[in-house]
Amino acid sequence: MLLENRVAIITGGSMGIGKGIALKFAEEGCSVAIIGRTDRGNKALTEITKKGYQAMFVRCDISDSRQVNDMVNQVISKFGKVDILVNNAALAATPKPLTDISDEEWATILSVNLTGQFFCCRAVLPYMKEKKYGRIINISSLAAVAPLAAEAHYSAAKGGLLGLTIDMAFELAPFNICVNAILPGITDTEALDNVIPPGQNKHDFLSEQIKSVVPFQRMGTPQDVAGVALFFASELSGFVTGDRVIVAGGSPLMPIE
């Protein structure tokens, strides 16, 4: 197993991409800490532990640094260490022109999608540095480099996460801590429902868009992203840091008309 005896914190692990990563890691021998803002995480926890895997759920709003510090302490108390951090938690943003984005909307998206990731990194690093080992995987987005909609607040946060990834990779390499980013494209998760007009079927609405921008002509799945996360979390990528992988079925490749 690729992650035997490892311990991972997975923010936003209650559903979607985060849950897919949690299940994949657990299958590979990893003890997983599922982090979420609501009690939905208990359902994911039950699903994982019923299969005989080691897991825990901690309710935490990552935009609050005090909650993040307490969350990491709880994980250390139960599992004794933290080897892997997957910064997956994020808020979806409603597409709208930049001039229509309110101060509150901007602050809310940035507080979770970028500042919260920083809080989580800062909280786990003392433990990783002490062990001279760590894997940090930041879940950015294709929107950071090739926006598919007008959502400047979301794209700015996900772009900022790429900058954080590169800087941490440089700073933490002497401690044998690898930091990499994954940029999912259109992925079939619950969060995608937020950008679908009311009353429309998600798959019907996206079918024509997908055909025009995704060479594979399908949406991604949490499992597609989880496979890349497993690579970054394991020894297979032990000499890879500061890198990014787009998981988007070939997007943003475009055909020449």
- Grade residue 155 by pLDDT with cuts at 50, 70 and 90: very high
The predicted pLDDT at position 208 comes to 65
- Grade residue 146 by pLDDT with cuts at 50, 70 and 90: confident
Name the strand (E) or helix (H) holding 9. Answer: strand 7-11
What mean pLDDT comes out for the span 228-250?
A: 96
The predicted pLDDT at position 254 comes to 63
Helix 41-49 to helix 16-27 angle (10° resolution) is: 20
Q: Does the residue 255 lie in any domain?
A: no
- Grade residue 55 by pLDDT with cuts at 50, 70 and 90: very high
Q: Does the residue 147 lie in any domain?
A: yes
Q: Domain containing 64: what range? A: 7-247
Percentage of residues of the chain with pLDDT beyond 70: 91
Determine how many CB atoms are found less than 10 A away from the CB of residue 246.
Answer: 21
Active-site residue, from 53, 127, 133, 154: 154
- CA–CA separation, 9 vs 7, rounded Å? 7
What mean pLDDT comes out for the span 67-81?
A: 98
List C-alpha distances in Å: 147 to 114, 124, 132, 156: 17, 31, 37, 10
- CA–CA separation, 181 vs 179, rounded Å? 7
pLDDT digit string, tens, across residues 168-214: 999 999 999 999 999 998 887 877 666 666 666 666 666 666 767 78
The predicted pLDDT at position 199 comes to 66
The predicted pLDDT at position 200 comes to 66
Domain containing residue 204: CATH number:
3.40.50.720
What is the number of structural domains in the chain? Answer: 1
Q: Does the residue 45 lie in any domain?
A: yes
* Averaged confidence pLDDT in the chain: 91
Q: Does the residue 253 lie in any domain?
A: no
Catalytic residue flag (residue 154): yes
The predicted pLDDT at position 256 comes to 54
pLDDT digit string, tens, across residues 24-52: 999 999 999 999 999 999 999 999 999 99
The predicted pLDDT at position 214 comes to 82
pTM, full prediction = 0.93
Q: Does the residue 95 lie in any domain?
A: yes
Q: Does the pLDDT at position 80 exceed 70?
A: yes
Percentage of residues of the chain with pLDDT beyond 90: 77
What mean pLDDT comes out for the span 129-156?
A: 92
The predicted pLDDT at position 249 comes to 87
Q: Does the residue 113 lie in any domain?
A: yes
3-class DSSP state of 177? strand
Q: Does the residue 117 lie in any domain?
A: yes
Kindly state the tokens that stand for 94: 């409603």
- CA–CA separation, 209 vs 204, rounded Å? 10
The predicted pLDDT at position 217 comes to 79
Q: Does the residue 257 lie in any domain?
A: no
Query: Could you please report the per-residue DSSP string of 34-66?
Result: EEESSTTHHHHHHHHHTTT--EEEEE--TTSHH
When comparing pLDDT for 49 and 94, which is higher? 49
Q: Does the pLDDT at position 257 exceed 60?
A: no
